[in-house]
Amino acid sequence: MLDYQATLDYIAEAVEPGFGKGKVADYIPALAEVPARKFGMAIQLASGERFSTGDAHEPFSIQSISKLFVLELAMSHFGDMVWTRVGKEPSGDRFNSMIKLEMEHGVPRNPFINPGALATLDLLMSLKGDAKHRIRNFLRYLAMNDKVDVDDVVMRSELGHASLNRAMAHLMKGYGNIHMDVEDLLETYCFQCAMAMSCEDLALAGLPLATGGYTEMHDSAVLSAAQAKRINAVMLTCGMYDSVGSFAYRVGLPAKSGVGGGILAVVPGTMSVAVWAPELDQFGNSYVGTMALEMFTKLTRTGIF
């Protein structure tokens, strides 16, 4: 059997030359204060074994990785109705671009760019009950960690710099694709993005996507096998902002990134992998995190191609 612990420890040392080549996100002031040289990585096997290295136990702001979990929640309640509100295609633009959104009459290209995440969340908020509690409880359940919670400082910082997201929401509302009050929607969106989880939390939370929606640890089906398959497909083609082709070429796994420096990747049938390194490349993905995942798939031969 492959020595996963030795592999992770080797990667933690091997990525050292990558530090300093990216830049910590600063458009959300609270994120700019995160130490740039943090690094953590964790893998969660379908067998239940988990291995980690570095700062894998330290919570960080998951940001756009939350879009993946909100999509899971929405699909579990609404099924394919989700795709009446948002598409499945790569955007080719930055995650916060409005160019195609206006051209395509308020229907976002996919659920992993900001307008697509807002449309997905808007659908989820149509359910009775508090959407914030639903999202937090779902993340706690997936991570099997009742300490998973929102980072209030990040949430307030993000909400105070949400003008572009607010504009997107109003534009979509004008086209009839947002139904909730825009300010309530934005507050809930900033709440989901400011959820703090560790690599170990994320690796466990992502495991159902690797195992057809069911894990023995969660003891219930989080998603159907078809839903897990479809979400993995959209992650592969849309999960890494506008560098999905480069990421697929280098890493070869479905994955979702966040500007907090996290990336959650899925090895179908085998494991989920989470990595955190706050410095970002020009596309908003973790520079060192992408390096680490590229090394991991080469060393373990776990890419899907």
Catalytic position from the list 38, 67, 173, 256: 67
Please give the DSSP secondary-structure letter assigned to residue 242: G
d(CA 180, CA 89): 25
- Our answer to whether residue 241 is catalytic in this structure is yes
For residue 128, the number of C-alpha atoms closer than 13 Å in the C-beta half-sphere is: 0
Which residue(s) pair with 256 in the sheet?
A: 264
- CB count in 10 Å sphere of residue 38: 18
Q: Using alpha carbons, select from 242, 295, 232, 237 the residue that is nearest to residue 264.
A: 232
Catalytic position from the list 241, 257, 273, 275: 241
Catalytic position from the list 82, 251, 259, 267: 259
Reduced to 3 states (helix: H, G, I; strand: E, B; else coil), residue 40 is strand
Burial 93-126 (b: 16+ CB within 10 A, else e): eebbbbebbeeeebbbbbbbbbbbbbbbbbbbbe
Retrieve residue 45's tokens: 């096997």
Burial 138-159 (b: 16+ CB within 10 A, else e): bbbebbebeebebbeebbebbb
Reduced to 3 states (helix: H, G, I; strand: E, B; else coil), residue 50 is strand
Catalytic position from the list 70, 189, 272, 275: 189
- Our answer to whether residue 27 is catalytic in this structure is no
Catalytic position from the list 52, 61, 64, 272: 64
Strands 40-45 and 271-276: antiparallel
Task: Give kind and range of the element (H or E) at residue 100.
Answer: helix 99-103
- Our answer to whether residue 175 is catalytic in this structure is no
- Our answer to whether residue 10 is catalytic in this structure is no
Please give the DSSP secondary-structure letter assigned to residue 38: -
User: For the CA atoms of 75, 78, 81, 82, what is the dihedral angle to 10 degrees?
Assistant: -40
List residues with catalytic annotation: 64, 67, 189, 241, 259
